[in-house]
Amino acid sequence: MRIILASSSPRRKRLFEILGMNYEVIPPRVKEDYDEYESFGELVESLALKKAREVFERTFEDRIVIGADTIVVYKGEILGKPSTIEEAKNFLRKLSGDWHEVYTGVAVVWNEGEHTFHEKTKVWFRNLPEELITRYAESGIPLDKAGAYGIQDLGAVFVERIEGDFYTVMGLPVGKVWEFFMKMGWWR
């Protein structure tokens, strides 16, 4: 069976490799929008499903397609991928010295069905000095990351503690994906 990761994220690719399965990557061609949703969990599941379905419809044979989406939420506000260095700085200033939540939704689409789920992890940022915010934002690193940071790069120094799954913050709750694959008999 063909396994396809519907993602352009190098972080998700590295995380999926943890499962030790043969797979291929096909980036989805969908726009990430936050138009309508009832909950943040529903939103990330919906976006992940949109990505997985789009790649499923472009591919053939017996296949399993996995899509994912991650958002950062601060006091009810979604902090997506910043579009400018200034916006990245503003996101980091907001998150400094406070809690925020990271939601990652996963969707799996195969010939016989679809399944979605999400994980939520709380993250506490230490107080960030302006010099660090500026250096990190001006590096360009945060421009392709929800909430303007990556826990796997220099952004790791921002994080004082987390409550929940570390890999959810990176963009793919590997344990939950493995659990589902085991249940379906796909993990070998």
Catalytic residues: 69
Rounded distance, CA 49 to CA 106, Å? 7
Rounded distance, CA 98 to CA 79, Å? 14
> Which DSSP category does 154 fall into?
G
**CA angle centred on 89, ends 125 and 101, rounded to 5°:** 35
Selection from 128, 130, 124 nearest residue 98 by Cα:
124
**CA angle centred on 174, ends 41 and 72, rounded to 5°:** 35
